[in-house]
Structure 1
């Protein structure tokens, strides 16, 4: 596969869509129109301010005009975006969400699931995360080798998490795949 921005956008969107489906399955009963902590319009604004996330919104036919001033992208079932959410939307778990999970292994796997999007964009351009790039011209300057490597790591971890959620089993090799996501570079 060619390491291009368009390929990155397509691969990223596909993975984020799959992550969203699992998150929705796990937590939709809690997250719909919850504005207690994290789901606020000011956080949603990152999706239109970030050059990369704005490209993902455009791919869906969305833009700033489509975001609600009060609730951002939030609706009765949670976030209405298929992809293009700020990474914090996946990485943050309130106590109520964590309490829905049956044990520490489920909480660990959900924690890794929440870090996959964050992992992909780390150090995409120098020390900047992919979503911290505000100038669209800078998207052509990102370290494609690094971002695609991290995308592949996230995809591998996602497959492990899916298998774990289906089987309830997480072996040593699976944990090593997941550890790549939780062990960040300095």
Structure 2
């Protein structure tokens, strides 16, 4: 990858896939929730981050299109196809985790939620990719590191997607997920 713009397509494709799998796995629980953790102040990160703002612009959105009171939320949840802050995928309430059948399912869900965070770690010094606020600083991002973590996240996504269908993880699958699990508190 030669520039940050080269990351936009594969990142947005991964995020879209993650969003779709999470909806498939959790929409019955999240759709019934009346105490949603989604808040407009979290949505602001999408407009503050130079990288996430680029993703919004790919969708034809501008920062001032965000509702001041509700952020990007509508009656069906977040209206963004991609460009959400990673925290939007990382948080799992206790009820959501309790509905999963076993610990392996819970770990897989948490890894799925950490994939975008994993991609952006240490993109510029100690800063996460979404913490880079100035567009000109995006040119200084460690593209090699971000690209490597993006590939790790894509491989882990494929493992989790297969697990969601089959209910089985091989030893090789666990090794792929371990690259991400190390980041889970």
Unpaired runs of at least 5, structure 1: none
Match runs of 1:110-121 below 5 Å: 110-121=109-120
Matched, 1:83 2:82: yes
**Contact 1:32 1:76 survives alignment (8 Å):** no
TM-score (norm 2): 0.93
Deviation at residue 95 of structure 1 after TM alignment: 1.2
Partner of 1:155: 154
Deviation at residue 170 of structure 1 after TM alignment: 0.5
Deviation at residue 37 of structure 1 after TM alignment: 5.4
Partner of 2:56: 57
Deviation at residue 68 of structure 1 after TM alignment: 2.1
> What secondary structure, in the 3-state scheme, does the structure 2 residue paired with 1:169 have?
coil
Matched, 1:11 2:10: yes
Number of residue-to-residue matches in the alignment: 183
Cα RMSD between the aligned structures? 1.5
Partner of 1:73: 72
Q: Deviations over 1:47-94 (max 9, x none)?
A: 000000000001001122222222211222221111101010001101
Q: 1:35 & 1:73 partners in 2: Cα distance?
A: 17
Partner of 1:130: 129
Q: 1:74 & 1:24 partners in 2: Cα distance?
A: 15
Q: 1:29 & 1:70 partners in 2: Cα distance?
A: 26
After the TM superposition, which of the residue ranges 51-60 and 34-43 deviates more from structure 2? 34-43
Partner of 2:22: 23
Q: Deviations over 1:133-170 (max 9, x none)?
A: 00000001100000000000000000100111111101
Partner of 2:95: 96
Q: 1:76 & 1:104 partners in 2: Cα distance?
A: 32
Alpha carbons of 1:140 and 1:93: their partners in 2 closer, same or farther (altered >3 Å)? same
Alpha carbons of 1:85 and 1:156: their partners in 2 closer, same or farther (altered >3 Å)? same
After the TM superposition, which of the residue ranges 37-46 and 109-118 deviates more from structure 2? 37-46
**Contact 1:92 1:114 survives alignment (8 Å):** yes
TM-score (norm 1): 0.93
Alpha carbons of 1:69 and 1:31: their partners in 2 closer, same or farther (altered >3 Å)? farther
Alpha carbons of 1:96 and 1:75: their partners in 2 closer, same or farther (altered >3 Å)? farther
